[in-house]
Amino acid sequence: LTISLENIQFEADSDKLLPGEKVKLEKIGEILKEFSNDLLITGHTALRGSAKARQILSEERAESVASYLEELGVRDQYHIFIQGKGGTEPVASNDTEEGRSKNRRVEITIMD
């Protein structure tokens, strides 16, 4: 089961979550606490900047979400895994701002 968080808002070109996003994660965290499975947090970016920069930013954003879930007591660091996909798995066209916005996302997968 994968939860995709579209339009998750970070400070520009940063991995710092905006306050409103923390509220969303708190609600999702309550649901995730009902499962004991490990979690995989995957960061994605739009096609802006270099491939290397996109990869790093996607990993940093996944780590930011994972760290916040740990802070909330959803899982400990040994049961949350992260990965970044950069801009390699778009779900929409990168030719429009609307499409790029959809591609900037974090996915939370409840693993088997």
Query: Can you tell me which residue has the tokens 């939860």?
Result: 3
Spatial contact of 59 and 83, defined as CB atoms under 8 Å apart: yes
Question: Phi and psi of 83, rounded to 5°?
Answer: -155, 155
- pLDDT category, 10, cuts 50, 70, 90? confident
pTM: 0.90
CB-based contact 50:9 (threshold 8 Å): no
Q: What are the tens digits of pLDDT across the range 20-40? A: 889 999 999 999 999 999 999
Report whether pLDDT(4) > 90.
no
- Please state the length of the chain: 112
| pLDDT for 5 | 76
Comparing C-alpha atoms, which of 92, 98, 109 is closest to residue 43?
Answer: 109
Query: Does position 7 have pLDDT exceeding 70, yes or no?
Result: no
How would you classify the pairing of strands 105-110 and 2-6?
Answer: antiparallel
